[in-house]
């Protein structure tokens, strides 16, 4: 049934560090690769080598510019995938019971054999975490690499989601956010982890760590600058004569 | 939202069909025999045609039977259950009226209630979606129900109530547009809350995840056609409510001309509601568009 569990034994999820993410899209590629070859229907592409390529992705990296009232604008890379919400609207709207939230670890999954591809779960998700695969006609979403994290055929170091394993910057963390003593929960507490669109009432499990404040740029940014020859404010010599001569021509000085 | 023809046809036709079934179930008009056959054929044609159209956008229509199982949580599932219930009960009632010259009143009332319930559940599929503030309003089910009742009254030839129901539906339409235009801002969701970065400054979408388009943009971000929204609203209002009202209130002589006017009123109403339904989808902003710097 598509009734949400009252509570889950664990709340497995991701913590994404917006301070560390360099926007390399490696997580996007590794996600696409793993999830095309493993759990469920492959993530298809339409017209991949043509003029208008598009395809199914479970993880996409946006980039945003934040302009504070004072100071410099900051560029923030923003990976976005399913947040495995506690109050997941995508589960309750499903008419067939294909969408469900697991009691044991809180992962939101789609039973692709029962999915009719009506798309209503994607409509209900404010985050755009679900995409209908055009080749298979079923809904695809992040599985939190459920086929890796419990997979005893893999070396222990690989039993984490593909995106986390791949991230070269260490911007992605995986763990139990329901356990206040877990590393990810401590990280969230320490760095002030936040929810996306809290007003939607979805109670996302995944948290985002806000960018740390940037170093202040002082007036003098180069400590060697005072030791160097000053750049002439006023042109000297020939350039000075030329500057004055041009000023006298019709059109005048600027 | 992408205004898919399948859902526009579905909600327009089935709304009208179940509206007519509601009035037929109440014995309005209390027709029997071949006249009843024509009425029920129209009602079932509209309701079933609409339901069939809605399966066109499914990825796996052959599994559609599973959609009857999750009525505990899913409005889409409840709609399926109500629709089948309404069609079955009204089918029995129609058999009585057509072949046995009798109206089983209690059965008719149950069928009428189920018909209205079907329209209500359809509207709740859209109303429940918080991610689409323009739909997530109390006025959405009011609009679907008032349209269905007005259209049903027109088709049933319920002269006493049709003008009132048309006037109410028209007023609800205007109120829906007025309130809907403020819904996204009133929801409090913007790129700042979407990224969690809003308290640091003004957030601007700098670079999308991919250079090409994707499912989310095709399904949820529909910008083409919105520029004609005001003109289309005028057309929807005039065709859907003003003109039909004028046509049925015009005093005419003779049964033929009266029927022609009634038919014109129905066709005009149908075109108006279809236009309104197109706007219902095309103008609805899904908050996922914010992530792409669009709405």
Smallest Cα distance from B217 to chain A, Å: 9
* Residues whose CB is less than 8 angstroms from the CB of residue A253 and which lie 6 or more positions away in sequence, other chains included: A247
Select the residue of A52, A62, A78 nearest B212 (Cβ to Cβ): A52
Candidates B82, B83, B195, B203, partner chain A, best to mutate (most A CBs within 10 A): B195
B202–A208 C-beta distance less than 8 A: no
pLDDT at A6 (0 to 100)? 86
- Residue A194 DSSP SS3: strand
Select the residue of A55, A68, A198 nearest B200 (Cβ to Cβ): A68
Nearest-Cα residue of chain A relative to residue B73: A92
**What is the C-alpha separation between B100 and A56, in angstroms, rounded?**
56
Cβ atoms < 10 Å from Cβ of A111: 14
β-pairing, A99-101 with A74-81? unpaired
- Residue B85 DSSP SS3: helix
**What is the C-alpha separation between B270 and B205, in angstroms, rounded?**
41
**What is the C-alpha separation between A47 and A53, in angstroms, rounded?**
5
Is residue B118 predicted with pLDDT exceeding 70? yes
**What is the C-alpha separation between A15 and A21, in angstroms, rounded?**
12
pLDDT per residue as tens digits for the range B94-112: 999 999 888 898 999 999 9
Select the residue of A76, A115, A197 nearest B194 (Cβ to Cβ): A197
**What is the C-alpha separation between A159 and A154, in angstroms, rounded?**
7
Structure tokens at B40: 């029920």
Smallest Cα distance from B172 to chain A, Å: 25
pLDDT per residue as tens digits for the range A182-230: 999 999 999 999 999 999 999 999 999 999 877 766 666 677 777 777 6
Helices (H), chain A: 26-37, 89-92, 120-124, 146-149, 162-166, 183-191, 237-248
Q: B93: exposed, middle or buried (C-beta count within 10 Å: 0-12, 13-18, 19+)?
A: buried
- Phi, psi for B156 (deg, rounded to 5): -75, -10
pLDDT per residue as tens digits for the range A78-127: 999 999 999 999 999 999 999 999 999 999 999 999 999 999 999 999 99
B197–A94 C-beta distance less than 8 A: no
List the domain boundaries for chain A. 12-209
Q: Which fold would CATH assign to domain A12-209?
A: Alpha-Beta Plaits (3.30.70)
Cβ pairs bridging A and B (under 8 Å): 198
Global ipTM: 0.91
Which span out of A66-70, A120-124, B65-69, B220-224 was modeled with the highest average pLDDT? Answer: A120-124
Helices (H), B181-242: 183-187, 191-195, 215-220, 229-237
pLDDT per residue as tens digits for the range B237-273: 999 999 999 999 888 888 889 889 999 999 999 999 9
**What is the C-alpha separation between A241 and B66, in angstroms, rounded?**
88
List the domain boundaries for chain B. 5-291
* Residues facing residue A81 across a β-bridge: A59
Contacts of B288 in chain A (CB under 8 A): 125-128
- Residue B253 DSSP SS3: coil
The reply to whether B254 touches chain A by the CB within 8 Å rule is: no
**What is the C-alpha separation between B130 and B97, in angstroms, rounded?**
43
Select the residue of B58, B70, B131 nearest A126 (Cβ to Cβ): B131
A118–B57 C-beta distance less than 8 A: yes
**What is the C-alpha separation between A40 and A56, in angstroms, rounded?**
13
The reply to whether B194 touches chain A by the CB within 8 Å rule is: yes
Select the residue of A62, A114, A198 nearest B63 (Cβ to Cβ): A114
Q: Which fold would CATH assign to domain B5-291?
A: Formate dehydrogenase/DMSO reductase fold (1.20.1630)
B80–A95 C-beta distance less than 8 A: yes
């Amino acid at each position: 049934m598509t009734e949400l569990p009252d509570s889950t034994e664990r709340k497995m999820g991701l913590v994404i560090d917006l301070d560390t993410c360099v926007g390399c899209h490696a997580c996007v590629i590794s996600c696409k690769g793993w999830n095309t070859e493993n759990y469920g229907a492959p993530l298809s592409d339409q017209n991949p080598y043509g003029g208008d390529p598009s395809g199914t992705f479970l993880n996409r990296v946006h980039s945003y510019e934040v302009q504070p009232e004072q100071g410099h604008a900051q560029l923030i890379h923003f990976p976005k995938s399913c947040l495995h919400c506690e109050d997941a609207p995508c589960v309750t709207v499903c008419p067939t019971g294909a969408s469900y939230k697991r009691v044991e670890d809180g992962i939101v999954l789609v039973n692709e054999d029962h999915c009719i591809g009506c798309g209503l779960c994607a409509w209900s998700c404010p985050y755009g975490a679900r995409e209908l695969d055009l080749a298979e006609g079923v809904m695809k979403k992040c599985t939190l690499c459920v086929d890796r994290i419990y997979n005893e055929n893999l070396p222990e170091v690989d039993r984490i989601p593909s995106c986390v394993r791949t991230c070269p910057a260490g911007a992605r963390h995986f763990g139990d956010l329901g356990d206040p003593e877990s590393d990810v929960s401590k990280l969230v507490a320490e760095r002030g982890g936040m929810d996306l669109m809290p007003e939607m009432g979805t109670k996302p499990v995944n948290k985002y760590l806000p960018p740390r404040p940037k170093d202040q740029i002082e007036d003098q940014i180069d400590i060697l600058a005072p030791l160097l020859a000053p750049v002439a404010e006023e042109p000297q010599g020939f350039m000075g004569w030329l500057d004055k001569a041009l000023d006298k021509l019709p059109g005048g000085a600027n | 939202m992408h205004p898919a023809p399948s859902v526009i046809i579905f909600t327009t036709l089935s709304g009208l069909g179940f509206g007519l079934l509601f009035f037929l179930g109440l014995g309005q008009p209390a027709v029997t025999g071949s006249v009843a056959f024509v009425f029920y054929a129209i009602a079932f044609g509209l309701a079933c045609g609409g339901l069939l159209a809605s399966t066109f956008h499914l990825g796996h229509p052959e599994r559609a039977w599973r959609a009857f199982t999750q009525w505990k949580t899913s409005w889409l599932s409840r709609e399926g259950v109500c629709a089948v219930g309404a069609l079955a009960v009204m089918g029995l009632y129609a058999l009585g009226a057509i072949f046995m010259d009798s109206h089983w009143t209690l059965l008719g009332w149950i069928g009428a209630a189920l018909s209205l319930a079907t329209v209500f559940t359809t509207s709740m599929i859209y109303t429940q979606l918080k991610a689409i503030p323009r739909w997530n309003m109390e006025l959405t089910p009011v609009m679907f129900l008032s349209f269905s009742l007005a259209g049903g009254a027109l088709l049933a030839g319920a002269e006493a109530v049709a003008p009132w129901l048309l006037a109410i539906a028209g007023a609800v339409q205007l109120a829906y547009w007025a309130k809907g235009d403020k819904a996204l801002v009133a929801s409090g969701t913007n790129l700042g809350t979407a990224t969690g970065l809003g308290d640091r400054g003004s957030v601007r979408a700098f670079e999308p995840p991919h250079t090409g388009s994707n499912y989310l943009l095709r399904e949820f971000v529909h910008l083409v056609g919105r520029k004609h929204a005001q003109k289309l609203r005028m057309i929807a209002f005039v065709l859907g409510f003003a003109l039909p009202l004028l046509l049925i209130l015009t005093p005419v002589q003779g049964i033929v001309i009266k029927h022609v006017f009634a038919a014109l009123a129905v066709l005009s109403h149908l075109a108006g509601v279809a236009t309104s339904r197109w706007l219902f989808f095309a103008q609805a902003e899904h908050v996922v568009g914010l992530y792409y710097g669009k709405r």
